């Protein structure tokens, strides 16, 4: 499923070429598209982990890895062994995991790395009950990123855990549906800067706001950075149309609590608004805000084929209810809704028309769009978009299409929507978010 560019980036060419100021990309609240990349779509850990292990085995200088879950099953242990082997041959290896997401396996992971040379940091640890009383504990590290030698990166929604292993339901025969992207080229630079910033926050207790402010200020004022980016042709007013034989154009986008608060959400809404033919969206947790919902509905009403792939096999019943209270409004507008039933669904991806696609860690719900640290890669390339679209078509073909909303208009729908809205409102307030959703 690899998408090869016509003019690929060589291994000895620096991935940060064009980034004269390290934080220049971060000064933009919209995606900064960089050309000259390679991108390969990876399905599940069965494809991601061997690719990551090969890259780590070839590492010469350093490896950075950030993940919500680093589990202790055999698939995770294979990644851990590759990291340990790299550290033993002198490569600097730094891993940061989320304190909540990795709480079940943290003792084992600490023992694995121990004195093996791998530096492990825990983002917002929950080792004591009073940790829950500290501000911001509901805002978690949800990114899944790996960078090797500043030249190769992996971005997606896949945690370091076996595809067939669910923390709440145990092992299953079928792997969960999930995606990641292997990247090589200039777009690796902002990915590495992001992992470094998360590491700094986790290890030294610095606030993400301070770290990203430092990155932004290193590029001089925002206005000057924009002029610089335009001179380097990294920030066109309108990204040029792409042909199949051009290098892959990609943008790395994050969600944080400073300048990039709504970047992921807005770039997805913009893609939906600009779509003329089709929109495909897959996410396990779906409770969009007004703007996102209206974009989907308006696209469907103007004749765009809008297809949503959501959970059919639920891991959290409340998450399923949150999505299903939206069904009647979406179906009435002409949006196609499918529920994935062969296995658990964990993929977060979208395709708009023939050349825009995104894969990452961000769900379409308030936790991802307003609270957690998230990261997506946006690719503008016909070959990549076609590969992802084909994967989603195949997944929808084995899914159940919803023709009648489980909660139709009436008292049940009103109560369901009211309950979900009330819970979402107070969860956001408890987490310290005051933004409209």
Each residue's pLDDT, cut to its tens digit, for the chain (437 residues) gives 544 433 333 333 333 344 445 566 777 778 889 999 999 999 999 999 999 999 999 999 999 999 999 999 999 999 999 999 999 999 999 999 999 999 999 999 999 999 999 999 999 998 776 666 666 777 899 999 999 999 999 999 999 999 999 988 899 999 999 999 999 999 999 999 999 999 998 987 544 455 455 555 544 444 454 454 444 444 443 444 544 455 899 999 999 877 688 899 999 999 999 999 999 999 999 999 899 999 999 999 999 999 999 999 988 777 778 888 889 999 999 999 999 999 999 999 999 999 999 999 999 998 898 889 999 999 999 999 999 999 999 999 999 999 987 766 555 566 666 777 667 666 666 656 666 66
Let me know: does 304 contact 279? Beta carbons within 8 Å.
yes
Let me know: does 277 contact 311? Beta carbons within 8 Å.
no
Look at phi and psi of residue 90 and say left if phi exceeds 0, alpha if psi is from -120 to 50, else beta.
left
Domain 262-427 has CATH 3.30.870.10: yes
The residues that are catalytic are 142, 144, 149, 346, 348, 353
Question: What is the per-residue pLDDT for 28?
Answer: 76
Q: How many residues make up the chain in this entry?
A: 437
Question: What is the per-residue pLDDT for 415?
Answer: 66
CA pair distance 245, 240, nearest whole angstrom: 14
CA pair distance 385, 266, nearest whole angstrom: 19
Nearest to 278 by CA among 330, 336, 362, 339: 336
Q: Cα dihedral sign for 41, 84, 111, 208?
A: negative
Question: What is the per-residue pLDDT for 29?
Answer: 76
CA pair distance 89, 94, nearest whole angstrom: 14
- Long-range CB contact pairs, 293-301, < 8 A, 24+: 293/326, 293/329, 293/330, 295/269, 296/272, 296/330, 296/333, 296/335, 297/329, 297/330, 297/333, 297/335, 298/273, 299/272, 299/273, 299/275, 300/330, 300/333, 300/334, 300/335, 301/333, 301/334
Q: What is the pTM of this model?
A: 0.85
Nearest to 148 by CA among 184, 100, 97: 184
Distances (CA, A) of 150 to 144, 147, 184: 16, 6, 9
Token pair listed for 210? 């301070």
Let me know: does 376 contact 434? Beta carbons within 8 Å.
no
Q: Is 334 exposed, middle or buried (0-12, 13-18, 19+ CB in 10 A)?
A: middle
**What are the extents of the domains in the chain?**
13-222+249-257, 262-427
Question: What is the per-residue pLDDT for 27?
Answer: 73
The CATH superfamily label for domain 13-222+249-257 reads: Endonuclease Chain A (3.30.870.10)
| Residue burial 269-299, b: 16+ Cβ < 10 Å; e: rest | bebbbebeeebbbbbbbbbbbeebbebbbeb
- Are both 13-222+249-257 and 262-427 of the same fold? yes
């Amino acid at each position: 499923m690899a998408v090869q560019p016509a003019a690929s980036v060589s291994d000895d060419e620096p991935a940060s070429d064009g980034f004269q100021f390290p934080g220049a990309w971060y000064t933009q609240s919209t995606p900064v598209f960089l050309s000259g990349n390679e991108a390969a779509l990876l399905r599940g850990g069965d494809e991601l982990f061997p690719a990551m292990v090969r890259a780590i085995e070839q590492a010469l200088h350093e490896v950075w890895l950030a993940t919500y879950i680093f589990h202790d099953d055999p698939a995770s242990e294979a990644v851990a062994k590759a990291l340990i082997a790299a550290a033993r041959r002198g490569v600097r290896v730094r891993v940061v995991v989320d304190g909540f997401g990795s709480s079940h396996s943290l003792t084992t992971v600490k023992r694995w790395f121990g004195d093996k040379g791998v530096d492990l940091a825990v983002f917002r640890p929950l080792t004591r009950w009073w940790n829950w009383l500290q501000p911001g504990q509901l805002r978690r590290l949800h990114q899944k990123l790996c960078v090797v030698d500043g030249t190769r990166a992996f971005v997606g929604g896949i945690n370091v855990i076996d595809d067939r292993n669910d923390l709440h339901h145990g092992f299953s025969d079928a792997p969960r549906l999930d995606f990641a992207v292997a990247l090589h080229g200039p777009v690796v630079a902002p990915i590495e800067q992001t992992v470094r910033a998360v590491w700094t926050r986790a290890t030294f207790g610095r606030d993400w706001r301070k770290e990203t402010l430092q990155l932004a200020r290193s590029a001089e004022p925002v206005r000057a950075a924009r002029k610089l980016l335009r001179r380097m042709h990294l920030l066109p007013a309108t990204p040029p149309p792409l042909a199949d034989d051009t290098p892959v154009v990609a943008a790395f986008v994050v969600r944080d609590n400073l300048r990039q608060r709504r970047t992921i959400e807005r770039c997805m809404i913009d893609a939906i608004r600009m779509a003329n033919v089709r929109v495909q969206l897959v996410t396990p947790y779906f409770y969009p805000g007004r703007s996102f919902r209206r974009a989907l509905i308006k696209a469907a009403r103007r004749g765009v084929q809008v297809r949503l792939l959501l959970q059919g096999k639920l891991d959290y019943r409340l998450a399923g209810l949150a999505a299903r209270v939206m069904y009647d409004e979406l179906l009435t507008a002409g949006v196609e809704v499918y529920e994935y039933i062969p296995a658990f669904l964990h993929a977060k991806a979208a395709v708009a028309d023939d050349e825009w696609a995104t894969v990452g860690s961000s769900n379409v719900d308030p936790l991802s769009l307003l609270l957690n640290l998230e990261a997506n890669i946006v690719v503008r390339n016909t070959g990549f978009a076609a590969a992802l679209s084909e994967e989603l078509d195949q997944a929808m073909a084995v899914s159940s299409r919803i023709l009648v909303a489980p909660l139709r208009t009436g008292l049940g729908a009103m109560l369901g929507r009211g309950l979900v809205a009330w819970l979402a409102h107070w969860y956001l307030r408890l987490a310290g978010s005051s933004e409209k959703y």
